[in-house]
Structure 1
Amino acid sequence: MYACPLCNGFISKKEKCPSCHHEMHNQGRVIDYMDDYIAYLDYDGTKLIDGVLDSTDQHTCLHLFRCSECEKDIHVQIQEILL
């Protein structure tokens, strides 16, 4: 079984804003912002929606990072780990 280390609190990740260079903050999985009922889908099923299963590496989790200074958003793929 694979799990996202960022979602599960095993790691923390810092990103610098490409626009203003301030620290960006993790807002969670991108897929969680797409629909009110997304939480009712299984984890692997949501990867079909955000396109992760179309990539060459299926064991990634797409996260949204936001800059509190300039409000820029970026998507960051996090490598899942085998538990």
Structure 2
Amino acid sequence: MYVCPVCNGLTAVTQTCPKCQHSMDHQGRLVDFMGDYIAYLEYEGTKLIDGDEESTNQHTCVHLYACPSCGEELDISIKEVRE
């Protein structure tokens, strides 16, 4: 089984804004913004909702980062690790 190291608190990923070079804020998993009941679904099942088959096949978890300075948003794929 694979797990996301960011979701599970194993590591933190920092991201610099490509527009203004400020540090971006981690907003959480991208799929968490796709509905009120998404948190109640099984982790692997939520990966099917984002429509990105690559995240399932390549064992990645897509996270949203936002810049508090300029408002830029980025989707960052985090490589999952074996549990």
Structure 2, gaps ≥5 residues long: none
Task: Indicate whether 1:64 and 2:64 are aligned.
Answer: yes
Once the two structures are TM-superposed, the CA of residue 77 in structure 1 deviates from its matched residue by 0.2
Structure 1, gaps ≥5 residues long: none
SS in 2 for 1:16: coil
Give the ranges of 4+ consecutive aligned residues of structure 1 lying more than 4 Å apart after TM superposition: none
CA RMSD of aligned residues (A): 1.3
SS in 2 for 1:64: strand
Once the two structures are TM-superposed, the CA of residue 63 in structure 1 deviates from its matched residue by 0.0
Match of 1:6 in 2: 6
State the identity as a percent. Answer: 50
* Structure showing the higher strand proportion among its residues: 1
SS in 2 for 1:51: coil
SS in 2 for 1:75: strand
Partner amino acid, structure 2, of 1:50: D
- Equivalent pairs, count: 82
Q: Normalising by structure 2, report the TM-score.
A: 0.91
